[in-house]
Structure 1
């Protein structure tokens, strides 16, 4: 196992990774699974679909593929709702098989056990290529930094970088601007993070930011909408 990464068990029983050099976890230690469901499914995909019930496919951009949890849950969401999703994610430092193969996400929710094969499929899919993984889920992952990445138009953004104190370059205005410029009119950005500076920056970039209840163990989170006007 990588000397930098250690598998930990969060409060809801699901795994996360602890980056020893950064001294940072990939997910909330209050519950990795619950955090992803709350921040990215409920206040991300569900919220966008509620406003756009017949606007398919949904184009998702994720900053930080990491453990693959958000991508896998989005695939499950797409299949269960029968909504086509085009998913693009970037990750400059992919998690190795010896680590991701031990993560317990497919065992955590027995209600979606029949989707277990897709978790490994996302990790083994060729990097820097795109294609279908399931009937409703088309997937592309790139080994690249945000600065180097070519972004495609997106409806929903999962801004899931490490905390600002650990990766400040990803939270600066120039980085957020690159992401929000690629968002389509009416799109949304959702993130676990909540700071006054983040809200101000998103407002400066023309988005309507709102502070929402956070996942279990975290008081608040941020979601921002882009104007639907072209």
Structure 2
């Protein structure tokens, strides 16, 4: 990954990191908070209707999705185990400058810093509702079954297919399908037709949903019940 990421404020007042070399940001410039809430919380976590949830996130990035999920765990009386893998961890000098106003009103002011300070490759009980397990490495080589008997929810938040094409292949979707519980959900901001078809070939039932501001559609994929 290039080292030219700089902080940019997005349309909803929350920050993201943007690389001019990639022409890519960690979150939508139309609103970081708005996008993450819409794609991962509303279409993912809240669609599960479960109180005890095991999450796997592809791409820890800025930590925003983890922060919002921790907030939801506390506010909604959930118990969440949150696994997140990151091949290119951000420097804390960058993450410490990020501002996500009103993202986590029920959490301590230093919640984002605590997420990034948590050790790699071991569980961290950030409070009774939320346990974080950060994994540093390549998701293509990750031994999913070694860390959980199954996952309820996958946040697929890799960079776009033209930036990280290897992460959007059918083989990874098939591996994720195999380690998800029946009725489990995978959500992603990407709605490309080929991504949808690869998810379907991996076994998922897919649906196009309205996207966040600036995107017409997003994808939600489910593992069938009873499999």
Aligning the two structures, in what range does the TM-score lie when normalised by the shorter sequence?
over 0.9
Shift of 1:172: 0.8
* 2:134 matches 1:141: yes
Q: TM-score, normalised by structure 2?
A: 0.93
Shift of 1:114: 4.3
* 2:54 matches 1:59: yes
Q: Deviations over 1:47-89 (max 9, x none)?
A: 011xx4xxx4200000000000000100000000111001000
Mapped partners of 1:141, 1:8: distance in 2 = 25
Extract unaligned runs of 5+ from structure 2: none
- The DSSP-based 3-state class of the residue aligned with 1:78 is helix
Q: TM-score, normalised by structure 1?
A: 0.92
2:73 counterpart (71, 78, 86):
78
**In terms of mean alpha carbon deviation, does 175-184 or 23-32 score higher?**
175-184
Give the RMSD, CA atoms, in angstroms. 1.5
Q: Deviations over 1:206-230 (max 9, x none)?
A: 2110000001121110001111113
1:103 counterpart (98, 107, 112):
98
Mapped partners of 2:159, 2:103: distance in 1 = 29
Mapped partners of 1:100, 1:146: distance in 2 = 22
Tell me how many residue pairs correspond in the alignment. 222
* 2:127 matches 1:128: no
Counterpart contact for 1:208–1:225, Cα < 8 Å:
yes
Ranges of 4+ aligned residues in structure 1 off by more than 3 Å: none
Aligned match of 1:27: 27
* 2:4 matches 1:11: no
Counterpart contact for 1:76–1:115, Cα < 8 Å:
no
Query: Would the alpha carbon gap of residues 215 and 4 (structure 1) be closer, same or farther in structure 2, given more than 3 Å must change?
Result: same
* 2:186 matches 1:189: yes
Query: Would the alpha carbon gap of residues 110 and 155 (structure 1) be closer, same or farther in structure 2, given more than 3 Å must change?
Result: closer
